[in-house]
Structure 1
Amino acid sequence: MLFALLIIIILPFAIGASLLYKSWPIVSAPGLFGDVLFGSDWMPMQGKFGLWPFIVNSIIITLTGLVLMIPVCLAAAIYITQFAPLWVKRMLRTVIDILAGIPSVIFGLWGIITIVPLISEWATGAGAENATGYSVFAAGVVIAVATIPFVLNMLIELFEAVSMELMEIGLSMGASKWQTIRDIIIKKIKHGIIASFTLGVSKAFGETIAVLMVVGNIVQIPKSVFDAGYPLPALLANNYGEMMSIPKYDSALMLSALILLIIVILFNYFAHKVIGHYHLKSS
């Protein structure tokens, strides 16, 4: 068991070290910050590997998905665990499990068929030029839908783990059912709620195929959510294995993977800090 635990502990460091080793030629070269990390020019044939547009697009798409996902997941979890009849609860749990097992490429196809045309109509109505619908907003919607089953399952387990005595105490003190849920139950499990959404965001950051199919794959910093983008996972999926004869091209792609890993680690770190802060306040 200790050996298995050691493998789990070493694995993230091994992944990070291997990515750093492969990206070292571009990391150790001059102009890492000005030309690579904060550079906007992606022209591998000319030796320009600006990753800033990819980083910005990844953050915007993930935050868009998070804004769409949080209210849906929280409201659905409350309804399923606190208000829904038993037969509805069983049916919804089955539907959620089915959604969780759908491959991401299916979500991508659904996005192309449904979401992209809708966004194209909205963008055209809003006065956007060349509104194809392939945009960071479409990618955010697809990410939210693909992540909802994952997060919703965790939230349902959290709400179901709360003792019914808390509900009975709140009702006995004259509070309504909704007041008891809002002021007692949610506060009791808010650490778990934050952790659930943190894991959902980490999953959203790494979503590749579904995002790649609807985001447009244009290297630019989007001026609006209706503009096309190009996140880090799509960059890796589209380009790794091609044109490896170009100097530092492989290193630039490995650096993009390392940046993606660092972003997820930092986000989880700050989320755990927030959880610890609320835990200390509640204790």
Structure 2
Amino acid sequence: MPGVRYIVEYIRKWWMLLTLLLIFILPFAIGASLIYKSWPIISGSVLGSALFGSEWMPIQGKFGLWPFIVNSVIITLTGLLLMTPVCLAAAIYITQFAPLWVRRLLRTVIDILAGIPSVIFGLWGIITIVPIISGWAVRAGAENATGYSVLAAGMVIAVATIPYVLNMLIELFEAVSMELMETGLAMGASKWQTIRDVIMIKIRHGIIASFTLGVSKAFGETIAVLMVVGNVIQIPKSVFDSGYPLPALLANNYGEMMSIPNYDAALMLSALVLLVIVILFNYIAHKVIGHYHLKSS
């Protein structure tokens, strides 16, 4: 019946539009709720001292977030530096050099790693990473030789984020037409030269996007980082120093001492700052991706 078919199609169309609208509104709703909850600090004269202050003493009304912001950026960038060569090398080997049975085995291992809870990575970091870094710190003569440090947090973040980034990179390399490889080889280039100078140039905007999503996930890692970072409020002078990133601040303190004036607003402001950092990073990465996409087109 044409009438029934028209009604069904109409309902399907509006159902899809409503779900799309929900996805579009969700980030703005989250941001608006955080702004509303942190408004007592945003609207007051203490916003500057909250964003750039270094003292975190809620009882005295001091809510300096600068050490937490710096630690979040340092830990995330450390994880990015550690995971970038690993992810690229692994993706190239799996898609271009590995035999079929090895490829299937590695894909299974990657999927298993992606499903491991964050707390397991944190426990593994305490058992394995922290003692290793403690030994390095002792040999380097560092002040903090406990091993609980921003370096430990960066390494745990890198391991926890690798499966997500690696899966995206593998899909990118597998989507490249084999004609590109054959063309490069026919022109006398080696296989590695073709991968480096043809394939990776072709998909570089996708590579940047993959690492952008990985960094966004790394910024929000909480439990694993909290367990190995040391949770000391300071700006680290070396990678062996302990730190205290924004997600750990929220996980450790939200729900406690809410009778203190502006304490809840300060924590909501820290969540808003974290959201803004992720948005800014994604915006910059989007501009870079657009630049390379235009150059390759």
Query: For the superposition of Structure 1 and Structure 2, which TM-score range results when normalised by the shorter chain?
Result: over 0.9
Structure 1 residue 5 corresponds to structure 2 residue 20: yes
Following superposition, the deviation at residue 272 of structure 1 comes to 0.3
TM-score, normalisation: structure 1: 0.99
Alignment-mate amino acid for residue 189 of structure 2: A
Structure 1 residue 152 corresponds to structure 2 residue 166: yes
Moved more, 22-31 or 52-61: 22-31
Structure 1 residue 197 corresponds to structure 2 residue 203: no
Report what 2:264 is aligned to: 250
What is the rounded CA distance, in whole Å, between the counterparts of 1:130 and 1:225 in structure 2?
Answer: 10
Write out per-residue CA displacement over residues 103-146 of structure 1, whole angstroms, 9 at most, x where no aligned residue.
Answer: 00000000000000000000010011231000000000000000
Q: How does 1:1-283 map to 2 (within 5 A)?
A: 1-33=16-48, 35-283=49-297
Write out per-residue CA displacement over residues 173-223 of structure 1, whole angstroms, 9 at most, x where no aligned residue.
Answer: 111000000011001110100000000000000000000000000000000
What is the rounded CA distance, in whole Å, between the counterparts of 1:230 and 1:7 in structure 2?
Answer: 34
What is the rounded CA distance, in whole Å, between the counterparts of 2:46 and 2:274 in structure 1?
Answer: 20
Alignment-mate amino acid for residue 151 of structure 2: F
Following superposition, the deviation at residue 253 of structure 1 comes to 0.1
Ranges in structure 2 where 5+ consecutive residues have no aligned partner: 1-15
TM-score, normalisation: structure 2: 0.94
**Cα RMSD (Å):** 0.5
Alignment-mate amino acid for residue 100 of structure 1: A
Identity in percent: 86
Alignment-mate amino acid for residue 239 of structure 2: V
Runs of 4+ with deviation above 6 angstroms: none
Alignment-mate amino acid for residue 11 of structure 1: L
What is the rounded CA distance, in whole Å, between the counterparts of 1:209 and 1:130 in structure 2?
Answer: 22
Following superposition, the deviation at residue 64 of structure 1 comes to 0.1
Give the aligned length. 282
Following superposition, the deviation at residue 279 of structure 1 comes to 1.1
What is the rounded CA distance, in whole Å, between the counterparts of 2:46 and 2:123 in structure 1?
Answer: 39
